[in-house]
């Protein structure tokens, strides 16, 4: 029996909806790039898109993160069940994932390595199980995987993935100062600057 190509099957099932969604914000399926932002506390993964030549992204769609692993705060070591926090990129497309389809992120990145954080195999994937990943269910990963594949095929070399603990601002961080270690608070203050800069690119 011939093995089903899950990526091809996902493309066939999603392409019409993708074309319609892109069209609603004035984009063509052969001229767009994407950016992903996850907020752990809100259990949400947001997807933004733009024309290649544009500097500004527009909101396209969002996916609920179906199961949360770990707590707020960065991933520090293999097996701690934490979801990383920071600026990443998609570095792997896995059409034969244990969790239907999956997109790998480059944890540990340079910052994580400098902190001597360890761990590997962090993915956005289908299904609902997780140990440090972002599970969004099979229908959602089919949509996201196809969008990411299209963006890559049309020239997007790096697909950014930002993972934040929550919507970062000074007031939100201040309320948590007594609950989390100082090194976590300091990292959140760094990420709050990144978050503020990122918002300027979004419509």
Q: Could you give the CA distance from residue 66 to residue 44 in angstroms, rounded to a whole number? A: 9
User: Which of 103, 105, 93, 100 has the alpha carbon at shortest distance from 138?
Assistant: 100
Helix (H/G/I), strand (E/B), else coil: 131: coil
In which domain, by residue range, is 189 found? Answer: 6-199
| Overall number of domains in the chain | 1
pLDDT tens-digit series, residues 123-168: 999 999 999 999 999 999 999 999 999 999 999 999 999 999 999 9
Mean pLDDT of all residues in 76-93 = 97
Per cent of the chain over pLDDT 70 is 99
Domain annotation covers residue 17: yes
Domain annotation covers residue 46: yes
- State the pLDDT at residue 89: 98
- State the pLDDT at residue 4: 76
Domain annotation covers residue 84: yes
Domain annotation covers residue 1: no
Active site residues: 125, 133
Mean pLDDT estimate for the chain: 96
Domain annotation covers residue 176: yes
- State the pLDDT at residue 3: 67
pLDDT tens-digit series, residues 169-198: 999 999 999 999 999 999 999 999 999 999
pLDDT range class, residue 203, cuts 50, 70, 90: confident
Taking the mean position of all CA atoms in its chain, how far away is CA 51? 19
State the Rg of the chain over Cα. Answer: 17
User: Which of 22, 18, 90, 16 has the alpha carbon at shortest distance from 58?
Assistant: 22
Q: Is the dihedral of CA 144, 9, 96, 68 positive or negative?
A: positive
> Is the confidence at residue 1, as pLDDT, over 70?
no
| 31 CB burial (10 A radius; 0-12, 13-18, 19+) | middle
Domain annotation covers residue 194: yes
> Is the confidence at residue 2, as pLDDT, over 90?
no
- State the pLDDT at residue 197: 96
pLDDT range class, residue 9, cuts 50, 70, 90: very high
Mean pLDDT of all residues in 41-64 = 97
Domain annotation covers residue 182: yes
58-64 vs 86-97, strand pairing mode: unpaired
- State the pLDDT at residue 72: 96
Q: Could you give the CA distance from residue 84 to residue 107 in angstroms, rounded to a whole number? A: 7
> Is the confidence at residue 66, as pLDDT, over 80?
yes
CA distances from 171 to 109, 164, 176, 192, 197 (A): 28, 15, 9, 11, 17
Specify whether the CB–CB gap between 89 and 106 falls below 8 A. yes
Mean pLDDT of all residues in 35-56 = 97
> Quick check: pTM over 0.75?
yes
Q: Could you give the CA distance from residue 42 to residue 64 in angstroms, rounded to a whole number? A: 9
Specify whether the CB–CB gap between 75 and 201 falls below 8 A. no
**CATH code of the domain containing 42:** 2.40.440.10
Q: What is the DSSP letter of 97?
A: E
């Amino acid at each position: 029996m011939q093995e089903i190509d899950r990526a091809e099957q996902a493309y066939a099932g999603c392409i019409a909806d993708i074309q319609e969604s892109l069209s609603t914000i004035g984009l063509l399926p052969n001229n767009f790039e994407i950016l992903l932002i996850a907020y752990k506390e809100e259990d949400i993964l947001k997807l933004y898109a733009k024309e290649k030549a544009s500097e500004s992204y527009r909101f396209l769609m969002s996916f609920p993160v179906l199961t949360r692993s770990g707590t707020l705060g960065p991933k520090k070591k293999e097996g701690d069940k934490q979801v990383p926090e920071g600026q990443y990129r998609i570095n792997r497309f896995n059409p034969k994932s244990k969790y239907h389809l999956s997109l790998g992120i480059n944890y540990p990145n340079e910052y994580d390595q400098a902190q001597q954080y360890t761990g590997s195999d962090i993915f956005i994937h289908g299904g609902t199980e997780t140990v440090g990943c972002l599970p969004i269910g099979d229908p959602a990963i089919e949509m996201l995987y196809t969008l990411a594949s299209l963006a890559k095929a049309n020239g997007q070399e790096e697909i950014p993935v930002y993972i934040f603990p929550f919507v970062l601002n000074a007031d939100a961080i201040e309320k948590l100062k007594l609950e989390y270690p100082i090194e976590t608070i300091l990292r959140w203050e760094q990420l709050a600057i990144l978050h503020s800069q990122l918002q300027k690119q979004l419509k």
